[in-house]
Chains A and B, each alone.
Chain A
Amino acid sequence: DAKTTQPNSMESNEEEPVHLPCNHSTISGTDYIHWYRQLPSQGPEYVIHGLTSNVNNRMASLAIAEDRKSSTLILHRATLRDAAVYYCFQNQGAQKLVFGQGTRLTINP
């Protein structure tokens, strides 16, 4: 299975931007990059996905490096509700998500 690497934990302050990195060293040309998050005591939820271009939606922005070996999930103004474990993936669709340890994001008030 394709592997990604993420920092185990990150910390930020409320109302500040957060940049969550992910390395995709084994990504292939047809793999999409996906991000999910898991809030405390809930199931994971989809955040965003992209292929080559940067993407924006109501939850976050996704910046993809030109060589696609890395991506960054950007939360523009973090709130306490954004405290969660964030997972990144690389695959050809949502058929089979292999969860790693993810990044545990702590937001300080």
Chain B
Amino acid sequence: DAGVIQSPRHEVTEMGQEVTLRCKPISGHNSLFWYRQTMMRGLELLIYFNNNVPIDDSGMPEDRFSAKMPNASFSTLKIQPSEPRDSAVYFCASTRLTGGFSYEQYFGPGTRLTVT
């Protein structure tokens, strides 16, 4: 298995531009998570989906952030407009729920976003 795939691996953009991060979960997994990691705040859960449905988006910082999961094999995290404080590493993770339960999340390599 290829593992969780994220693209791009690095993104540099100017303030005010739209940024789209992409994630392909592991085949057969039915739950997907987006995290953000910064030196100041550590690793934070932004949003997660079960069976392509958003379950908890309480970690999404503000309306500039949006996430979609149109099918079981693809998700996007969009920031519009981007700001320098959005600079961080964004991780996607997936897992397979069995009976509504799972023990192990598999993380992707992350996308390093720099907003200038």
Contacts and interface: CB of A to CB of B under 8 A. Distances in A.
B104 interface: yes
Which 6 pairs show the lowest CB-CB distances between chains A and B?
A43-B107, A99-B43, A46-B104, A94-B102, A93-B101, A94-B105
Given A32-B103, A94-B95, A95-B48, A43 B42 contact: no
Interface residues of A, number: 20
B25 interface: no
B45 A46 contact: no
B107 A45 contact: yes
A32 B107 CA distance: 20
Give the residue among B43, B44, B109 with the most A Cβ atoms within 10 A: B43
A43 B103 contact: no
Interface of A: 32, 34, 36, 38, 42-46, 49, 92-101
A52 to B, nearest CB: 15
B46 to A, nearest CB: 12
Contact of A94 (B56, B104, B108): B104
Give the residue among B44, B48, B107 with the most A Cβ atoms within 10 A: B107
Contacts of A34: 103
A43 B110 contact: yes
Contacts of A97: 33, 45, 105
A32 B91 CA distance: 23
Given A43-B4, A46-B106, A95-B31, 12 more contacts: A32-B103, A42-B109, A43-B108, A44-B107, A46-B103, A46-B105, A49-B103, A92-B101, A93-B102, A94-B102, A94-B103, A98-B45
